[in-house]
Amino acid sequence: MLSKLITITVVFLISVGGSNLYSQTCSCAGPPLLSSVEFRPTPAKTWQFGLTVQHNSLSRLVTVSETLEDDARARSTQAVLIEAGYGINQRLSFTSVFSLIQKRRTITLPAVGQDKLLTRGLGDAVFMLKYNLLPRDFVLSRQLTVGGGVKAPLGRSNLRLDEILIATDMQPGTGSIDGLLWGNYTQRFHATSPVSINLSASFSFAGENDNQYKFGNDFESSAGFYYEAKSRVDFSAALKYRWASPDTRFSTSEIPNTGGQWFRIEGGLNLKVNNSLTSRFSIQLPVYQKVEGTQLTTSYTLSVSMFYARGLTF
């Protein structure tokens, strides 16, 4: 039953991925990989697989904290994230994430018409080693995990249109190797509580690509709760914070209108199909932002995921 479900989903995604999907570009300077991946602790001797389809809409033009009335530009990113992880032992685990990225930019001017640009391809990948500083206990399900890894530039960052290099933030990949740090803490309020709190933080140190372009360093944090209902449906909610430094070129030149701070809220529904398989639907909405200069920023993000965890052997 499980394998049939996975196969059907995968085949569905193949067909969907080949069509001209309406994608909505991420507001951040690069592909939305790090901000889209929710790393989780991996139990020992357990394989974890995840498949996420994310839809990121960017249509708000903001100057610092003020939203401007401007319907001319719309950008979007659609991402398919494929995650595989394995718990080596009670302390150590490994996670890898691969991505497929599609980006669309539409500019509409009255009496002029529309200009559209669509790019797609393999995106960057993340490889992370995680360590349980505090292995999960059975009373409060308390667990503290830290991780370190790299973002590998598997995606192309040199796509051209009519021989012209396409803008950096419309490329499927960043072209740079980034260093990543991550930490996560979770625990129940008390032994029998259906509510757990979850705190997480991550930091990426951006590298420079072959075009001498460096995306900004990125810090993300999340504070939320998870409610295990007696039914198969669980709920989660979190407040997320993101800070990004401005992008730079030639090591010294800050790119104007990049970087800033964002607060978002996320709500999620989790469906426990069985002991191994979980589906998740989540939505993120902006709460507040303070951006550098004037830039497009996220209107909303939708994610649909499937997670499978089992002590599989091939």
Residues found near other proteins in the complex (CB under 8 A): 3-4, 6-7, 10-11, 13-14, 17-18, 20, 61, 63, 66, 68-70, 72-73, 80, 82, 98, 100, 105, 107, 109, 112, 115-122, 156, 159-170, 172, 212, 249-250, 252-257, 292-294, 314
By beta-carbon proximity to other proteins, the closer residue of 217 and 294 is 294
Point out which residues pair with 68 in neighbouring strands. 61
By beta-carbon proximity to other proteins, the closer residue of 73 and 142 is 73
The least distance separating other proteins from the CB of residue 3, rounded to whole angstroms, comes to 3
DSSP class per residue in 143-161: EEEEEEEEEE--S-S--EE
Compute CA 239 distance to the chain's CA centroid, rounded to the nearest angstrom.
Answer: 15
Which backbone phi and psi does 13 adopt, to 5 degrees? -70, -35
By beta-carbon proximity to other proteins, the closer residue of 94 and 227 is 94
The least distance separating other proteins from the CB of residue 67, rounded to whole angstroms, comes to 9
The least distance separating other proteins from the CB of residue 171, rounded to whole angstroms, comes to 9
User: Cα separation of 296 and 25, whole Å?
Assistant: 10
Alpha helices in the chain (DSSP H): 2-18, 33-36
The least distance separating other proteins from the CB of residue 14, rounded to whole angstroms, comes to 6
By beta-carbon proximity to other proteins, the closer residue of 40 and 105 is 105
By beta-carbon proximity to other proteins, the closer residue of 120 and 142 is 120
User: Cα separation of 245 and 197, whole Å?
Assistant: 29
Point out which residues pair with 203 in neighbouring strands. 181, 219
The least distance separating other proteins from the CB of residue 117, rounded to whole angstroms, comes to 5
Using CA atoms of 79, 129, 267, 21 in order, give the dihedral in degrees to the nearest 10: 10
